[in-house]
Amino acid sequence: TDTPSGSPDDYPVVDSVERAGDRADFSFDRPITTRFLLVWLTSLPSEGLASYRGRVSDIQVLG
2-47 tens-digit pLDDT:
788 778 888 888 888 887 778 888 888 888 888 888 888 888 888 8
Q: So what's the pLDDT on residue 13?
A: 86
| Sequence-separated (6 or more) residues with CB below 8 Å from residue 5 | 11, 36
Annotated domain spans of the chain = 1-62
Given a cut of 70, whether residue 1 has pLDDT beyond it is: no
Q: So what's the pLDDT on residue 50?
A: 83
Give the whole-angstrom CA distance, residue 55 versus residue 11: 21
Q: What pTM does this model have?
A: 0.63
The pair phi, psi for residue 8, each rounded to 5°, is: -60, -25
